[in-house]
Amino acid sequence: MSSQHKVYIPDTAKDNQYILAEIQLSQAFYAAFPDELSCYQQLSQQFFRLTEQAGLRNVHFIANDKLPVVRFHTEAFCFQTTDQILFFYNPAYHEAQNSYFDGQYRSRKISLLCLATGSDIRAEAAQFHRSVRQVLQDFKALLPLADVPVKIRDHQHLSYDLFAKAKGCNNSYGYKLRSLAARYLARDTVLPAEHHAMTYAAVTLPLNRQLKQRLQPQQQGDYRQLYQSLQQLLVDVTAPLELNRLAFIADGTTPLVRSSLLEKSRRSKELHMLNFDLTSPRPQLSSHWQAEHLVESAHLLIVAGQDDMAELGYGRFMNRVEQSMKQLAQQLGLDPTSTDLVIRFHQHISYQL
């Protein structure tokens, strides 16, 4: 029973954690400052002063209504698109303190982004959360209006190649993958009773030349057969394992997962907000692709529900995810020595400060 609740992840896996606080801005809020530029400059200086005192070494002040997206990378860089501001970094090495705003643009919200740094992200996650929460409480006390709502989102990712062993990585570590609330409580960090949690696995499947030729050898300009085959295969390999909250995204957008209790599904040119009912046992499939548009990779998402949450953690859930993805890879004929099939285990919590 204990082994069922442990998943063995290669020691080449990458951790990252970031906490995003969002503050909605009203006309009354802006009225407390001479102009937008003064507002952003004063608040960013206060935020950086507090984070400096707390020893937070990678922080960003954002007031341009773009969604921060954070990923692990060996090099540190940031770039912006119409909808997103993307941060790539290695927690072990990279530090930053930057602000992103335009004094001529009135943002609907301020986003305060704190990236975890250090060499042992998971072990220090509770301490990082406490430090950031204290900074946000102090920052909230400095705002010109009382009782401004501040929403906190704590994101933690564990990313690894399913084929790491085939590429020479023979060492692994057993994880129970406990819920964030349980992990934090064990380290004397209590989350508010009114918090929301979301756990899911995201797999990036490259649509390489061999895969396209196998699933759709002739029809050019219409990729319906390719997408339908992959979508059906995802359903077929997960159904026997009772993994029934799924998404197949191959429309060029970045999928984001939320609970149906909190947010509605919506889509922009770049982002696709998906929601799932975590309490319902019925199968849920969110599928989005365009027959005439070929993308470089497809996103396969498997979302954990309340029935997947055990007292020991999400190890059993991830074992089933891995089993299903290995079956998918085998049926697609993927070469494990030359293909990266990256699994990202997501854990999120959110609450109002």
Query: In whole angstroms, what is the distance from residue 105 CA to residue 201 CA?
Result: 36
**Residue 167 main-chain phi, psi, to 5 deg:** -100, 10
pLDDT at residue 260, as a whole number: 61
Q: Positive or negative CA dihedral for 322, 245, 269, 64?
A: negative
Instruction: Give me 265's structure tokens.
Output: 């599904």
Backbone Cα Rg of the chain? 21
**Residue 106 main-chain phi, psi, to 5 deg:** -95, 105
Instruction: Give me 115's structure tokens.
Output: 């990236």
Q: Which of 347, 305, 344, 6 is nearest to 176 (CA)?
A: 6
Q: Which domains does the chain have, with CATH numbers?
A: 14-159 (3.30.70), 195-352 (no CATH)
Query: In whole angstroms, what is the distance from residue 303 CA to residue 260 CA?
Result: 12
Query: In whole angstroms, what is the distance from residue 249 CA to residue 61 CA?
Result: 31
Q: Which of 180, 102, 109, 98 is nearest to 150 (CA)?
A: 109
CA angle 345, 346, 352 (to 5 degrees): 165
Instruction: Give me 232's structure tokens.
Output: 């059906």
pLDDT at residue 269, as a whole number: 83
pLDDT at residue 309, as a whole number: 87
Instruction: Work out whether strand 342-352 and strand 150-161 pair parallel, antiparallel, or are unpaired.
Output: antiparallel
Q: At 10, which helix (H) or strand (E)?
A: strand 7-10
Query: In whole angstroms, what is the distance from residue 284 CA to residue 287 CA?
Result: 10
pLDDT at residue 217, as a whole number: 65
DSSP character at residue 66: P
H-state helical runs in the chain: 27-30, 36-54, 125-141, 180-186, 209-215, 224-238, 315-332
One pLDDT digit (tens) per residue for the chain, 353 residues: 556 789 999 999 999 999 999 999 999 999 999 999 999 999 999 999 999 999 999 999 999 999 999 999 989 999 999 999 999 999 999 999 999 999 999 999 999 999 999 989 999 999 999 999 999 999 999 999 988 999 999 999 999 999 999 999 999 999 999 999 999 999 999 999 999 999 999 999 999 888 888 887 666 778 899 999 999 999 999 999 999 999 999 999 989 887 666 666 677 888 888 989 888 889 999 999 998 898 999 999 999 998 898 888 999 999 999 999 999 999 999 999 988 999 999 999 999 99
pLDDT at residue 312, as a whole number: 84
Instruction: Give me 41's structure tokens.
Output: 């400059």
Instruction: Give me 67's structure tokens.
Output: 């969604």
**Residue 181 main-chain phi, psi, to 5 deg:** -60, -40
